[in-house]
Amino acid sequence: MTPDAPHLDPEQLAAYFALTDVGSLLQYAVEQQLREDGDLSSVQFQIIARLTGAPSGRLRMTDLADGIVYSRSGLTYQVGVLEKAGLVVRGTGPDDERTVVVSLTAAGRDRFFQVLPGHVEVVRRLLVDPLDRSDLATLRSLMDRVLTHMRAAPPRSARPRPPRKPSA
Amino acid sequence: MTPDAPHLDPEQLAAYFALTDVGSLLQYAVEQQLREDGDLSSVQFQIIARLTGAPSGRLRMTDLADGIVYSRSGLTYQVGVLEKAGLVVRGTGPDDERTVVVSLTAAGRDRFFQVLPGHVEVVRRLLVDPLDRSDLATLRSLMDRVLTHMRAAPPRSARPRPPRKPSA
DNA sequence: TATTGTTATACTCTATAACTATA
DNA sequence: TATAGTTATAGAGTATAACAATA
């Protein structure tokens, strides 16, 4: 019985493990490729990718932070690394003196396109090749549904915490 | 044109991004939960989980290393942390004097079951709830196919590296 | 007062290479 | 020689809290 105890049946667990295994293997492969081809971490690549896709290659720190990093200081650190590498420059925003606008340099854009082909190839080889077009559409639809649900629900609701027994 | 340039069409990219978004949000949520409920990282949780599932709660270092960590020293570090916390003990293997056998302590088992309900609840809330049973079966089947493909292909084959232009 | 962003600090984690000991 | 594991070391990344400046 134990009707209150949360549990997952083997089918649900298997789906979860399969998803996380794919996720971590894919992430590891991508990280390797980005490091080898362009000396970038995946966070740094994401920042550059966003800037590449932004109008005139500039974004405010706050806009950059969104899905990429979980703390402001983390973003400051990463943008600092990119700036030291000459891939990005920081300047004060025109409207609001508090904001900092991050701009992609020519070197930054070059680096992005230097790394992109290998990145695409890794994704293709590991994820796209083994699935056909309709599989990918299905996968996307499932993941989109999960994302919608995640974003609707409060990220960390008031979950009753079990008693913290020992400390370590 | 550019028939040699690797590329992904928007559908394929969308599937990739949706998958990685779910993966990273899920991973982050799990990491938070494990830390709050039991002061464990996900790597530490995986180690303990494997030991819990092993006969008599013991495994050799080498066996533990498999899917969890990408370097031997990384495993040594994590097992060291767990040992300091009293969740695990190390001993010399009975057959081969070179091997180290890691054994789960009673406290380690307690910690696992202390953390498990919250873990299950996060997975259910974020992944299982928004999908029905047949969705999960589909997801599992897709991911298993990808995993099979990943494991068949050489992890990092001889991919031609683009010219490393600047250094940073 | 609230918001934007940085800094100081401290900690966790990881990987490489050199090393020890056993097979 | 090969394998199992540890250690030393050094670097990358992260989060929290205190801080400065502007709105």
Residue B161 has pLDDT above 80, yes or no: no
The share of chain A scoring above pLDDT 70, in percent, equals 88
Length of chain B equals: 168
* pLDDT mean across residues, chain A: 90
Let me know: does A31 contact A41? Beta carbons within 8 Å: yes
- So what's the pLDDT on residue A154? 63
| pLDDT band (50, 70, 90) for residue B163 | very low
Q: What is the mean pLDDT of residues B117-121?
A: 96
Tell me which chain B residue has its CA closest to the CA of residue A17. Answer: B140
- So what's the pLDDT on residue A153? 74
Let me know: does B29 contact A156? Beta carbons within 8 Å: yes
Chain A residues near residue B18 by CB distance under 8 angstroms: 139-140, 143-144, 147
User: Which residue is closest to C17 in terms of CA–C1' distance?
Assistant: B73
pTM summary value: 0.90
Residue B36 has pLDDT above 90, yes or no: yes
* Per-residue model confidence as pLDDT tens digits over A52-85: 999 999 999 999 998 899 999 999 999 999 999 9
Number of A/B CB contacts below 8 angstroms equals 208
Is A39 within 8 Å of B168 when comparing Cβ atoms? yes
* pLDDT mean across residues, chain B: 90
Q: Tell which wins on pLDDT, A10 or B161.
A: A10
- So what's the pLDDT on residue B152? 86
Min distance A8 CA to chain B CA atoms (Å): 7
Residue B158 has pLDDT above 60, yes or no: no
User: Which residue is closest to D7 in terms of CA–C1' distance?
Assistant: B73
CA distances from A47 to A65, A87, A102, B24, B156 (A): 9, 11, 10, 16, 25
Nearest to A68 by CA among A41, A92, A96, A30: A41
Chain A residues near residue B70 by CB distance under 8 angstroms: 28
Q: Is the CB of A17 under 7 A from strand C?
A: no
